[in-house]
């Protein structure tokens, strides 16, 4: 499991990439680390690239991830753009985004970085 991130303070975007086998707990730890980063302040947007993970999240894990993001809805991260690789993951991702919206989380799923970045510009 590897999760890397880079913070663009000027654009207020966090770029996070996940590689290998990751869990919701791994993401929670990384998001908490980002939130406590001394250079981060104000509302940020997060791009999470999941194209290199070894397996998709199961439904139970997706529910836990939605709960995690919803618990942070009033926190530092205002919008989430997830990038996935497979069409099937993209379809499941859209159902995930709808469930997240019901809990007040602004999240969309994309197949490429350019589309994700363009959407984040629109939801500033």
pLDDT in tens, the chain (124 residues): 799 999 998 888 999 999 988 888 888 889 888 888 887 877 889 999 988 888 767 667 888 888 888 887 667 788 899 998 876 576 777 888 898 999 889 999 998 889 998 898 877 5
Return the exposure string of 52-74: e unless at least 16 CB atoms fall within 10 Å of the residue's CB, then b: ebeeebeeebbebbbebbeebee
Domain 2-122 has CATH 3.30.750.24: yes
Residues 6+ apart with CB under 8 A from 71: none
Q: Look at phi and psi of residue 104 and say left if phi exceeds 0, alpha if psi is from -120 to 50, else beta.
A: left
């Amino acid at each position: 499991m590897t999760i890397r991130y880079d913070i663009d303070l000027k654009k207020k975007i966090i770029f996070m990439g996940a590689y290998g086998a990751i869990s919701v707990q791994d993401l929670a730890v990384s998001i908490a680390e980002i939130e406590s980063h001394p250079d981060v302040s104000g509302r940020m947007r997060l791009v999470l690239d999941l194209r290199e993970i070894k397996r998709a999240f199961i439904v139970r894990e997706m529910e836990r991830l939605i709960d995690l993001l919803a618990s942070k809805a009033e926190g530092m991260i205002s919008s989430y753009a997830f990038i996935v690789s497979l069409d099937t993951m993209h379809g499941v991702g859209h159902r995930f985004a709808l469930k997240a919206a019901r809990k007040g989380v602004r999240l969309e799923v994309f197949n490429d970085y350019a589309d994700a970045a363009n959407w984040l510009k629109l939801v500033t």
